[in-house]
Amino acid sequence: MLVRFFLILSMMLGATQVVAQQSSGPLRVTIDQGVIEPMPIAVPNFVARDAASAEFAAQVTSVILADLSNTGLFRQIPATAFITQAVGVDAQPAFADWQIINAQALVAGNVSTAGNGQLTIDMRLWDVFGSVEVGQGVSLSTNSQNWRQAAHRVADVIYSRLTGEAPYFDSEVVFVSESGPKSSRVKRIAVMDQDGANVRFITGGQDLVFAPRFAPNGRSVLYTSYATGSPQVYLHDLATDQRRALGVADGMTFAPRFSPDGGRVIYSQTSGANTDIYTLDLATQARNRLTRSPAIETAPSYSPDGQRVVFESDQGGSQQLYIMSASGGAAQRISFGSGLYGTPVWSPRGDKIAFTKQVSGRFHVGVMNVDGTGEQLLTASFLDEGPTWSPNGRVLMFFRETPGPLGAASLVSVDVTGRNLRYVQTPGGASDPNWSRLRSN
């Protein structure tokens, strides 16, 4: 039956196209180094089950579409091409209507609201040419105020089922919002959803701040502030809006990050001309000095298992990347290319280090294997700096600054393959992004 249908369709559309699509196994977009053809996907407007849900249904659909489109892995089929406009989850779709417009994947959904402010999104994902459902239907309920987060979660389900990758849309980015002239930039710590929505400011702009980093549970942020006149690390609780200094009496502290279990802060401390790496145990307040060279050691980042630390140092005469045990001791240099290497960040998968590279007057964001092999530069510009990993390790976000007196910083994302470079929308200038883990609640 199915075979006969495909034969008929093949004759109608031209054999090669359809046969190629039919011949594969499960519907899957593969992310690798090769050139990919985005998968054509149809996401008809989610169907409102009640009048109060109509607006939510349209908004939820557009958030899901934007998430999927921004990956560069999917090509949205415009609604004007649809033969059927409304597809809910209650019945199997008419596959022929979607095959004829060459949709490979079809997302069907409903949105409903209850009197208590609950919003429910139902979604089913279909392999159009296989005429089968991909996974089981999902139903998410949340307070209607959190409709965006629920939409991101639905998009995450679609993304994961079609790519085999872990999800990342339901995540946040903490960054530095910039305004004012280059000589006296006003900088504020801000948090937003991964797609640039829901921006809220954490600091007021009276003190110079930079390089915020999320706690693993997303509930607090570390950053460096000049509140006392000298750079010091602060731990800011997002729920209570209270902060405390983690600093020391002498010298400056900066470049903080949490350990993967959230129990420790690793940071740099400068005494006189010398900058070294320290840890602070948040429970015991015990401090531990990890490096002792007279050179600059900074920008530390833990491996996901918490056992090792990658950092930058100029102990060999120029700024390069090193790895040491999380308890300190001998460090092994891993960067050996020409130019300078800084801001290393360990991938959440554990297999890659992302970094900033400065060579021949240009700045690049790149990745290398943990042993320093396999270096790949993903971007190039006057100033590309400070990569951060998406929760699933597939995407990097960094900031790009333009030259000259009117130069400004923007957030940019790029696939770890180097494809799909995109500017992230922010209010005004933005720098120093740090991606949260996938939200857990």
Partner 1 sequence: MTMIKWVATAILALSLAACTTANDGADGSGLLGGLNGGGTPSNAVDQSSLAYFTTAVGDRVFFDTASSTISTAAQSTLNLQAQWLQRFPDRNLTLQGHADERGTREYNLALGARRAQAAFDYLVAQGISPSRMSTVSYGKERPVELCSDERCWAQNRRTVTVIAGAVGS
Query: According to CB under 8 A, which one of 382, 423, 425, 427 is a site residue for partner 1?
Result: 382
Q: Which is closer to partner 1, CB of 171 or CB of 268?
A: 268
Query: According to CB under 8 A, which one of 57, 277, 299, 412 is a site residue for partner 1?
Result: 299
Q: How far is the CB of 173 from partner 1 (least distance, A)?
A: 17
Q: Does 230 bind partner 1 (CB under 8 A)?
A: yes
Q: Are 207 and 227 in contact (CB under 8 A)?
A: yes
Location of structure tokens 């000049």: 226
Q: Does 229 bind partner 1 (CB under 8 A)?
A: yes
Which range, of 19-27, 198-206, 310-318, 331-339, touches partner 1 by CB under 8 A?
A: 310-318
Q: Does 185 bind partner 1 (CB under 8 A)?
A: yes
Which range, of 15-23, 39-47, 199-207, 381-389, touches partner 1 by CB under 8 A?
A: 381-389
Q: How far is the CB of 333 from partner 1 (least distance, A)?
A: 16
- Binders of partner 1 among residues 234 to 253 (CB under 8 A) are 252
Q: How far is the CB of 204 from partner 1 (least distance, A)?
A: 17
Q: Does 407 bind partner 1 (CB under 8 A)?
A: yes
Query: According to CB under 8 A, which one of 181, 240, 283, 284 is a site residue for partner 1?
Result: 181
Q: How far is the CB of 374 from partner 1 (least distance, A)?
A: 22
Query: According to CB under 8 A, which one of 303, 358, 369, 420 is a site residue for partner 1?
Result: 358
Q: Does 211 bind partner 1 (CB under 8 A)?
A: yes
- Identify the bridge partners of residue 376 per DSSP, sorted by sequence position: 367
Q: Does 170 bind partner 1 (CB under 8 A)?
A: no
Pattern 57-96, binding to partner 1, x per CB under 8 A? ----------------------------------------
Q: Which is closer to partner 1, CB of 298 or CB of 388?
A: 298
Which range, of 39-47, 126-134, 176-184, 368-376, touches partner 1 by CB under 8 A?
A: 176-184
Applying CB under 8 A, what is the total number of residues that bind partner 1? 43
Q: Does 270 bind partner 1 (CB under 8 A)?
A: yes
Per-residue 3-state assignment (H helix, E strand, C coil) for the chain: CHHHHHHHHHHHHCHHHHHHHHHCCCCCCCCCCCCCCCEEEECCCCEECCHHHHHHHHHHHHHHHHHHHHCCCEEECCHHHCCCCCCCCCCCCCHHHHHCCCCCEEEEEEEEECCCCEEEEEEEEEECCCCEECCCCEEEEEEHHHHHHHHHHHHHHHHHHHHCCCCCCCCEEEEEEEECCHHHCEEEEEEEECCCCCCEECCCCCCCEEEEEECCCCCEEEEEECCCCCCEEEEEECCCCCEEECCCCCCEEEEEEECCCCCEEEEEEEECCEEEEEEEECCCCCEEECCCCCCEEEEEEECCCCCEEEEEECCCCCCEEEEEECCEEEEEECCCCCCEEEEEEECCCCCEEEEEEEECCEEEEEEEECCCCCCEECCCECCEEEEEECCCCCEEEEEEECCCCCCCEEEEEEECCCCCCEEECCCCEEEEEEECCCCCC
Q: Are 278 and 309 in contact (CB under 8 A)?
A: no
Which range, of 45-53, 160-168, 354-362, 369-377, touches partner 1 by CB under 8 A?
A: 354-362
Residues of the shown chain interacting with partner 1 in the complex, contacts defined by CB under 8 A: 181-185, 208, 210-211, 229-231, 252, 254-255, 268, 270, 272-273, 275, 296, 298-299, 312, 314, 318-319, 340, 342-343, 356, 358, 361, 382-383, 385-386, 401, 403-407, 432
